Structure 1
Amino acid sequence: MEWSSCSDPRLLMTSHGYTDEGLRHPDGMANRSIEKMRKSPAANGISVAEVAMRNGR
């Protein structure tokens, strides 16, 4: 869909973050390690969707 064919286009963003370190790892917060620290950013993300009205809908 092209921006020029839409009325008032917008972006909708949603965060998919899960930041409970105690639940993310089998041994919880015990034995902190570099491997655990590297795993944390991979558990976060976002989705972006373009939404707009077309023909009044």
Structure 2
Amino acid sequence: MVKPKTTEFIAAMKRWELDPKEKTTFFMLEVADKVKLSSRNIGTLKMLIPRTLNLFDIFEC
């Protein structure tokens, strides 16, 4: 089993032309455990699912 790594998630963000140093919000239906673990150390990244979505997060984008 491959361990989730933050460096791999940052590399994916760069492939998607997203700067890991800028605020980024992902709106997703669900977040896989590997994605949660590999992205949790990125302070500028926010992962939102319908259950955690609120107006403050939307206006902050």
Coarse TM-score class (shorter-chain normalised): under 0.3
Structure of higher CA gyration radius: 1
Please identify which structure carries the higher strand content.
1
User: Structure 1 length as normaliser, TM-score?
Assistant: 0.25
Please identify which structure carries the higher helix content.
2
User: Structure 2 length as normaliser, TM-score?
Assistant: 0.25
